[in-house]
Chain A
Amino acid sequence: EVQLVESGGGLVQPGGSLRLSCAASGFTVSNNYMNWVRQAPGKGLEWVSIIYSGGRTYQADSVKGRFTISRDNSKNTLYLQMNSLRTEDTAVYYCARSSGYGTGLDVWGQGTTVTVFS
């Protein structure tokens, strides 16, 4: 079964760090375009970052220089290292797969909650 399972969310103070993990099963992370998408409480979806199969990465302007997307091919796992966290980073973070350009985000995890409180 194709599945994504996120973990690593929690409570953190402003300026702190967290690392989110997204374990994949049923497919190979490194052969796909993997994304992080977040949703603040009561708000819409906001794209955070992408890592292509070739390794190139892009980030949203709101997280550039603070968040880093990466993957461990041996563990078939996607990561999001979040540094210098702000209260506005509070959200449910989803990892999502795109199996290629034009396919959309066709597999989503259940999400993990990050709360940045002061």
Chain B
Amino acid sequence: QSVLTQPPSVSGAPGQRVTISCTGSSSNIGAGYDVHWYRQLPGTAPKLLIYGNNNRPSGVPDRFSGSKSGTSASLAISGLQAEDEANYYCQSYDDSLSGWHVVFGGGTKLTVL
């Protein structure tokens, strides 16, 4: 079971807007740690999509945006395109009794209908 909780799947039609949630707790997102988002196509390495909660690396379209509030974060994808179909992961940091860790969400499969 992942420390960060994501919905297993989301879907949307081309052109629509979808959001993917990432729910944590007071020892990770709620503690003020940044949230990052990655996209992974089958058989390939993950790629950084959003860093520092709401920043896009060079080359990532502005259709992708991130937000964070309290113990949760969200990734929004607008103007959905067929090539957006992929797995998406959130990532943060956790500082609990067992020590400091990098933590990932369980991943969300986006299906473009």
Contacts and interface: CB of A to CB of B under 8 A. Distances in A.
Interface residues of B, number: 26
A104 B104 contact: no
Contacts, number: 63
B48 A106 contact: yes
A94 B101 contact: no
Interface string B68-100: 000000000000000000010101000000111
Contacts of A106: 48, 51, 57
Interface of A: 35, 37, 44-47, 50, 58, 60-61, 94, 96, 101-106, 108-111
Nearest to A107: B48
B101 A60 contact: yes
B50 to A, nearest CB: 8
B23 to A, nearest CB: 15
Given A61-B98, A104-B91, A105-B36, A47 B48 contact: no
